[in-house]
Amino acid sequence: MPDTTAQPAGVPASGTVHWIGAGLSTGSGLAALCDAADRVRLWHRTEERAAQSLESLGLTGRAEPRAYTLPALTAELAPGDVVVSMLPAPEHAGLLAACVSRGAHFACSSYVSEAVLDQVPAARAAGVVVLTEAGLDPGIDHLFAQGLIARAREEIGADTAAEVSLTSYCGGIPAVPNDFRYRFSWAPAGVLNALRSPARYIEAGAETTAPRPWEVTRPHVVDGEQFEVYPNRDSLPFVDQYGLPPAWKPQTFIRGTLRLDGWLDAWQPVFEELRQGDDQRIAALAQELAARYPTTDADRDRVVLAVSLDVRADPDHTWSGRYLLDLQGDAEESAMARCVSRTLALGVRRILAGDLPPGLSRAAETPERSEEWLVDLGREGIAFRRK
């Protein structure tokens, strides 16, 4: 939830944005910031690779290439700069520490880690904005859930006792199915390690834990199309984060991953390896799978995000709502890069405009903010439907 205590004065945005990393999720959001910011620097493994990434994005001359190391970045940070991290989540704590020491703001699309949370009080005291969970999942999924819950509250009433089912499933999948039923839209090691993490969720009104999430994969129909879904990470904190009224009792509350129909069977050899739990072997397997199923320039990805809410107060007093985002990538940009980078850029523009307070913010803090973000995302070409 947003900070509600007295806020220290925020450090005014300088107009300079440092975008760290140019991986699979970097897309037209970076171009949007080249329009919005006074100066943009793209930091990558080497200055040459940063320049190549800018060329591939059509941004040569609009952003400055830099070779990334944390000391090199820190040396160039000025008060009010904005650091946008596209690096793996374990590296965010070090970046945030550098931001706090220099009075620079921080933004990423990842979940809030404990290491980042520990630094939020210092960031807030320094007048620094810490924006997290501002991508696709997490990010747009939060906006959808907040929007549905707000509408259901108006219809059912927050004080009315009711049973609730909320499911939120998101997946990056190949637009043209292959025999593996998947193509990697983010780091293969991250995909495999996410499957090794237990999932906690609510089903049949009870807290449930799946030590191996893929073992509870089930069919799921979205807009008439058959998929497979499984729970991911820990869904329970989002009951409070989404502001579910206390009078509403969750019977189902699952945030999870969506895959093509047939994925469970196609991945059985991978699951056998994951059951062994050998870190070194899993790291090698990630490299093998990336080489065996490479993403080529001819491939097109697809992003499907389906969020559903059903509220039942009594047989004659019910409410149901759905959001569906179903995008396919094109020759210019993958659907994953479009969704993640444009959503993140939207948050960064809010930092540049001075619209976010010091301390921790997420993409969706209130229903009102969620609605504003959804309107803006629709204007920027991220199409979705609400039923």
Taking only the tens place, the pLDDT of each residue in 231-247 is 999 999 999 999 999 99
127 lies in the same domain as 21 = yes
Instruction: From 126, 169, 141, 115, select the one nearest 9 (Cα to Cα).
Output: 126
Residue 195 shares a structural domain with residue 317: yes
10 Å CB burial of residue 371 (0-12, 13-18, 19+) is middle
Rounded Cα gap, residues 240 and 51, in angstroms: 43
pLDDT at 6 over 70: no
Residues 123, 167, single domain; the answer is: no
DSSP characters for 141-204?
A: HHHHHHHHHHHHHHHH-TTS-EEEEEEEEEEEEESS--TTS---SS-HHHHHHHHTS-EEEEET
| DSSP 8-state class, residue 89 | G
CA distance 69 to 47: 11
Question: Other C-beta atoms within 10 Å of 192: how many?
Answer: 17
Pairwise CA distance, residues 318 & 30, whole Å: 43
pLDDT of 231 reads: 98
Q: Output the CA–CA distances (angstroms, integers) from residue 253 to 167, 208, 240, in the order listed.
A: 6, 10, 12
Please report whether residue 343 resides in a domain: no
Give catalytic status of residue 137 as yes or no. yes
Q: Tokens 């070409």: give the residue.
A: 381
Residues of the chain with pLDDT > 90, as a percent, come to: 84
Residue-range definition of the domain harbouring residue 302: 140-334+381-386
User: Residues of the chain with pLDDT > 70: what percent?
Assistant: 98
DSSP secondary structure code for residue 91 in this structure: G
1 in a structural domain: no
Query: 260, 184, 258: which is closest to 23 by C-alpha?
Result: 184
Q: Does 347 fall in a domain?
A: no
Tell me which of 71, 103, 132 is where a domain ends: 132
The mean pLDDT of 303-328, rounded to a whole number, is 95
- Which CATH number is 64's domain given? 3.40.50.720
Same domain, yes or no: 92 and 31: yes
Chain-centroid distance of CA 387 in Å reads 23
pLDDT in tens, 72-93: 999 999 999 999 999 988 999 9
Return the DSSP state at 110.
Answer: S
214 falls within a domain: yes
- Condensed to tens digits (0 to 9), the pLDDT of residues 164-184 reads 999 999 999 999 999 999 988
User: Mapping DSSP to helix (H, G, I), strand (E, B) and coil, where does residue 53 land?
Assistant: helix
Please tell me the total number of residues recorded for the chain in this structure.
387
pLDDT at 151: 95
User: How far lies 105's CA from each of 17, 124, 220, 254, in Å?
Assistant: 9, 10, 40, 32
The two structure tokens encoding residue 287: 């490299």
Residues 113 and 166 both lie in one domain: no
DSSP code for 210: E
User: Does 382 score more than 70 pLDDT?
Assistant: yes
User: Which CATH number belongs to the domain containing residue 154 in this structure?
Assistant: 3.30.360.10
Q: In this predicted structure, what is the pLDDT of residue 58? A: 92
Indicate whether 220 pLDDT > 90.
Answer: yes
Helix 335-352 and helix 367-379: axis angle, to 10°? 120
Per-residue pLDDT, averaged over 283-307, amounts to 91
Residue 40 in domain: yes
Establish if 146 belongs to a structural domain: yes
Nearest-angstrom CA–CA distance, 100 and 95: 9
| Closest alpha carbon to 271 in 232, 214, 200 | 214
Among the three residues 116, 132, 148, which one is the final residue of a domain in this structure?
Answer: 132
Residue 183 pLDDT: 86
pLDDT of residue 268: 97
What are the start-end ranges of the H helices in the chain?
A: 28-36, 47-56, 70-76, 92-102, 114-117, 120-125, 140-156, 188-195, 237-241, 263-266, 268-276, 279-292, 335-352, 367-379
Q: Has residue 13 got a pLDDT over 70?
A: yes
Check whether residue 182 and residue 75 sit in a common domain. Answer: no
* Average pLDDT of span 336-350: 95
Question: What's the number of domains the chain is made of?
Answer: 2
Q: Within this chain, do residues 114 and 240 fall inside the same structural domain, yes or no?
A: no
C-beta neighbour count of 200 within 10 angstroms: 18
Q: Are residues 159 and 303 in the same domain?
A: yes
Whether residues 73 and 220 fall in one domain: no
Flag whether the pTM goes above 0.75: yes
For residue 262, tell me if it sits in a domain: yes
Catalytic-role residue among 38, 118, 137, 240 = 137
Domain-located, residue 4: no
Q: Say how many C-beta atoms besides its own lie within 10 A of residue 100's C-beta.
A: 21
Tokens of 30: 């970076």
